[in-house]
Structure 1
Amino acid sequence: MAHAEPASLVDYMRQTDHTADAVVAYGPAPSQVTELFLPKVRGPHPVVILLHGGCFLQQYEGFAQTSALAADLAGRGYAVWNVEYRKLGEPGAGYPGTFQDVGAAVDRLRAEAPKYHLDLGRVVAIGHSAGGHLALWAASRGRLPADSALHVADPLKIGAVISLAGIGDLAGQGKVFALPCGDDTLDRLLDTAHRKAPYADTSPAELLPTGAKVVMVHGVFDPVMPPYTGRDYVLKVQAAGDKAEVVTIADAAHFDLVIPTTRAWTQIVAILEREMKALSR
């Protein structure tokens, strides 16, 4: 039975935690960990990198709730790399730690791929809200300035990004993000008080083109990141020469996109299937 929509934060937080097939630490901190959910069929498996939201803040769990999505996607034949990262309120979070965590977690897939029969030629990143930003950023790492603390020589290639109510332009849309997440959240995340160009290596809009297909998904009733924010970012991506589109889902708000019993999630799964098929060609 489909969940009644629009869904609330309480609906999102009350989701059942699912047990992963493997847990992989990519660093010493408690939050430097990923969960791997595997299909019951033989590989090689297409890979979904899943990044939770929560305003980059420690107070929102995020990781536990995305396990419901991960279990659902594994049941559909995808290997799901459910990524945790240090959030504001935890030691080492912010710049550069939070971004380095995401990069290290993504690149760790190379070491795990042979053991778990992962197909790294078919990788799609899905992120929600703040995680939508991190998914877009993860796909842009090949464009990072060489002098950036976030730069690595050979970042794992991500073929497509499905951003669920995410923010792609930190400079242009930061005030929209601040309304639900706090006026100082991005300043704390990016260390704007001490950096001359805080968006240069952290905002996906500053790192275009990436070569990754971008799909910005928004619920029509979303007050956190309304559909026009996705539309505006898509125009930037297209102007830079990459493929991009915005999808607006009727009767949905911010959290319908990340509860696997909603009609909105059914539409997102269809988008994922389409983008994975495109990577197989």
Structure 2
Amino acid sequence: MSESLVAKEADRALKAKHRAVWAAGDYAAVAEDVIPELGAVLARASGVHDGQRVLDVGAGTGNAAIPAALAGAEVVASDLTPELFDRGRELAAKRGAHLEWQQADAEALPFADDDFDVVLSCVGVMFAPHHQDSADEMVRVCKPGGTIGLLSWTPDGFIGRMFAAMKPYAPPPPPGAQPPPRWGDEAHVRELLGDRVTDVVAQRDTVHVDHFDGPEAFRDYFKANYGPTIAVYKAISDDPDKVSALDRDLADLARQFDVGDGSFAMDWEYLLLTAHERA
């Protein structure tokens, strides 16, 4: 087999693994229960309005795509994991939003150059393994003068710290794969987009999470529903000592982030970045 075919097979296997991770558990529940407002935050910051053509990359169940459609835009919600679309369609119908759902790899988007007025991703594209490839594709499909809007968990925020806590228990990443929370580092995103964009606006903010009764309740919910956490526990399932250690580490981390006054709550930090593609 030629070197190029070997590389293609390896990439196909990697993407199949990523799809399986996000199909596991119940990401729809996580998006609805824990971070329901984040997509609307991104759509507003990106200035989505009536008449625009909008692409949501790594759309999941439509956290950003549905608010964009409700703003009057023509929206395509794309994701590597189409298993999430059924719930997305239900949510869209419930809210009266009309949009298109299309399976797509963020690193090889099946859309024409300069096809969209706005290209969004709300804690979605950050999980594609090759950051530059994904950034290049988002720029490619965005029209000159169009808007790119990104909302990503930061490395030092709770989710970034959670991935760091899980890393010692997880299998080593494949060669060339980059950590998802790097998309929450403004300097990294500016480097990915380069001089192809202008008018970059970046700010850090937090989402207040008070869905859980306590640190252990958070941990158990993510063990049952969040694909990446499920995958790490699956990798160590035959080692009870490691399972117990990770149980302790995740609960301790959640305890460190408790900002509740009499009840458990956390503030999860994200980076919100918008830019215009250079005309």
Q: Could you tell me the TM-score, scaled by structure 1's length?
A: 0.34
Larger Rg: 2
Higher helix share: 2
Q: Could you tell me the TM-score, scaled by structure 2's length?
A: 0.34
